[in-house]
Structure 1
């Protein structure tokens, strides 16, 4: 827990003007769980907590010293930003000087240049994430009038126009009015320093178009996108500082912990895998072609995108005993506009690993047999992939989602179909990881097999492990008996 200074600095008595406060408490520098900027400084102004992170302890202590000196001078601090009045005034003067020196870029033009500069170095999913986050902010960065297009069209127009390949092209007819509004009625980037405008920006990060809260992961992803863009705006002198650094991090939902209700038991898992084979007509093999696909999620803990990219050369399937799947590639679904190839599936290395690394996953005999049967009946798809559609192409996410939804109706009682139980194909991976943890497999080994860090496994699945408290109690009780500490 952070601690304050033992002695409060001396300040002259008086009243601060509205929006400012002389009630300032400064905490000591602490280290937080971040790789890039692990040193955090926190302080309170008028009851509102502000914070900043730094790459080194020396930088954090230097900033702490600056704030402490301002407190000793008796300066009031701005409550919204947490900055001393002299710094706020200097920032405003710098912004005014910059505005007089040259016109500020407008938001849409800034985003076009920013995305174009990052496009070649970014994966398709990253590109799509940038477009989504910046499009959400764009809804706050336009002036509104009587004829303002609906937000859904403004958002779609922004996502279309932000793709570098679309620069200079005519927008689709249904997006033309929204596109013209975006390019004519967008605000200057410097308007982000306006408190009212930035409050609307924060709202757009946190909520969907229909006014319902966005998922926790969506909010965090959008905030990361905006933060990186604002850091760039500061670097190119479009903003005097990053207004997001001192902004309150609103907590909107959380997808950090796996919901136990989605987990299937062994009987339910087998029933679902069997039900898949009944989906679709027998001659087209729609469900039977994907039965082994779901099995690798359930028995090996693969992500769907990893299963899509699995090749025969990655599989060791002996006649007896355990086999191995050596994962080298993932095929995440994005969209044709986000990939370099023009295909819906990007081609990437494994998640959270270097591009040229692989991940061997031991698989039990039951999965070996399922894969052998699948390959014997259907062979391989194009490029030697284990799974393919009827034409040998990449299995689309819409395909394995539709098959899964139909299989649930076959396998589950009517009253459970509408429940969260195995609601997504990805939930089979959750069931696999939980089964391994409950079997006593060490967290580090589970993390290695599924391609996560031990910290992520512990955080996301700690509520899904059965019997560990009782087992721990038994071990402690046995230790007490051996030491003679019994009643």
Structure 2
């Protein structure tokens, strides 16, 4: 911990018969310090620097004997180096998807915090180098290709010092970059919020490392561009009739479609995220011959890429989204899904580790594979005009269809949130339009209650 003091004495320069004859002596608290110089001019310049610091009321570090401004200057590093330090600190405790988000955010911010663009290569190439090499800790153990090394060297050379972020204009520049995509269009609200949060945390680390006195973002009155995209668009959500037709069309997509029919069924009937189904095991399923069954969702295996995981596997094994690692989500499933899963087990069995869904070689189901099946089913069910819209464009829209169906059926929002793996606040925010869809029914109930009160008063 730095030992600050405001008690400083600075003596006159004295000359001695040594190689550096001019000596400046001063005292901070009770600790004496001295520094020798080759010329009188250098010694006087240093003394003037010290006197200015005392007149400005700066605290002094008793250990190094320097005023605070010079201590910070000695500690100061480039923003690029600080960003790498921040990513390295977060890396061991972050899942692969978070590591990718960290790299993406830091690549965006770092390119906004360069002194100038003179000598800069293609913007996309530099950003790609930062994302795949500069901020990927796993890659630091590998030999960097010469072309990538040249791009990163340019960034290191042009990067502003971290202390320069006390300038609010620089902070605003970085925030503006967080709100833009590579094509110049406005990013989605969730992406802006994520990058802003990561940037804020990295500035907090700079304060901890005494590179900044305070987090400058708190003083910047910056508002993200208006773009409300967290709410699910009803136009993208298939109704129960369309969902049933799409699931039937999945089975018509050849052998791969038949194998994935129950996979898509779980997304629709259980509101499961695709990543939660990749590692679903038979021992996590209760599938009675009659009535409702149950799924126990224990983990997510999102595909993040082998370069981002500790195991070198493409899928990162982690707990449920925004939940402690050991959390288990219990989702009751209707007889329709029970029948689909029982048929799946009869025909395909399971992998050696108990997984229900797998590729032809026994690997993890991948988005590229089930995405092709979904595209084929969508083409069979929707008209050419409907295919141009957002209607059921992604398999994930089946999850939205499930939640919206539960809400419109009158299920308690707390139960819906628990089964979907949301907080109630997120449920209300994301599915606001579907909740508003119950206005007519709500109005009818209120009117009935009011009319009941009127009749009683007349009696």
Please indicate, yes or no, whether the TM-score normalized by the shorter chain is above 0.5: yes
Task: Give the C-alpha shift of residue 134 in structure 1.
Answer: 0.8
Task: Give the C-alpha shift of residue 461 in structure 1.
Answer: 1.2
Match of 2:364 among 384, 394, 403: 394
TM-score scaled by length of structure 2 = 0.81
Deviations 1:311-347 (A, max 9, x none): 1110000111110001111111212121111111110
1:208 to 2:181 alignment: yes
Distance 1:196 1:101 in 2: 20
1:312 to 2:282 alignment: yes
Task: Give the C-alpha shift of residue 123 in structure 1.
Answer: 1.2
1:442 to 2:412 alignment: yes
Answer with 231-240 or 469-478: which moved more: 469-478
Matches within 5 A, 1:331-346: 331-346=301-316
Deviations 1:161-195 (A, max 9, x none): 22223226432355343222123222211122224
Distance 2:451 2:73 in 1: 79
Determine the structure 2 residue equivalent to 1:23. Answer: none
Cα distance change of structure 1 residues 143 and 150 upon mapping to structure 2, 3 Å threshold: farther
RMSD of aligned Cα (Å):
2.4
Match of 1:141 among 101, 105, 113: 113
Answer with 117-126 or 167-176: which moved more: 167-176
Distance 2:79 2:380 in 1: 51
Determine the structure 2 residue equivalent to 1:452. Answer: 422
Matches within 5 A, 1:267-286: 267-279=241-253, 282=254, 285-286=255-256
Determine the structure 2 residue equivalent to 1:433. Answer: 403
Give the structure with higher Rg (CA).
2
CA contact (8 A) 1:206 1:252 kept: no
Structure 2 counterpart SS, 1:387: coil
Higher helix share: 2
Determine the structure 2 residue equivalent to 1:266. Answer: 240
CA contact (8 A) 1:213 1:252 kept: no
Deviations 1:355-376 (A, max 9, x none): 1121110000000001111111
Task: Give the C-alpha shift of residue 252 in structure 1.
Answer: 4.4
CA contact (8 A) 2:303 2:314 kept: yes
1:289 to 2:259 alignment: yes
Distance 1:216 1:90 in 2: 44
Match of 2:161 among 184, 188, 211: 188
Structure 1 counterpart SS, 2:433: helix
Task: Give the C-alpha shift of residue 98 in structure 1.
Answer: 4.6
CA contact (8 A) 2:168 2:217 kept: no
Determine the structure 2 residue equivalent to 1:125. Answer: 97
Distance 2:435 2:173 in 1: 41
Distance 2:117 2:328 in 1: 54
Distance 1:161 1:101 in 2: 24
Determine the structure 2 residue equivalent to 1:484. Answer: 454
Task: Give the C-alpha shift of residue 114 in structure 1.
Answer: 1.8
Task: Give the C-alpha shift of residue 90 in structure 1.
Answer: 8.8
Deviations 1:448-467 (A, max 9, x none): 11111111111211212475
CA contact (8 A) 1:215 1:252 kept: no
Cα distance change of structure 1 residues 382 and 185 upon mapping to structure 2, 3 Å threshold: farther
Structure 2 counterpart SS, 1:346: strand
Task: Give the C-alpha shift of residue 276 in structure 1.
Answer: 1.5
Matches within 5 A, 1:70-149: 97-98=69-70, 101-149=73-121
Distance 2:116 2:354 in 1: 53
Cα distance change of structure 1 residues 331 and 443 upon mapping to structure 2, 3 Å threshold: same
Deviations 1:410-464 (A, max 9, x none): 1111111111001111110000000001111000000111111111111211212
Determine the structure 2 residue equivalent to 1:358. Answer: 328
Distance 2:72 2:408 in 1: 65
Cα distance change of structure 1 residues 90 and 261 upon mapping to structure 2, 3 Å threshold: farther
Distance 1:293 1:100 in 2: 57
1:380 to 2:380 alignment: no
Answer with 244-253 or 118-127: which moved more: 244-253
1:245 to 2:215 alignment: no
Consecutive unaligned residues in structure 2, runs of 5 or more: 1-55, 62-66
Structure 2 counterpart SS, 1:331: strand
**Displacement over 6 Å in runs of 4+:** 93-96
CA contact (8 A) 1:313 1:384 kept: yes
Structure 1 counterpart SS, 2:332: strand
CA contact (8 A) 2:186 2:225 kept: no
Distance 2:88 2:278 in 1: 29
Cα distance change of structure 1 residues 469 and 90 upon mapping to structure 2, 3 Å threshold: farther
Determine the structure 2 residue equivalent to 1:34. Answer: none
CA contact (8 A) 1:311 1:384 kept: yes
Cα distance change of structure 1 residues 412 and 382 upon mapping to structure 2, 3 Å threshold: farther
Distance 1:90 1:269 in 2: 71
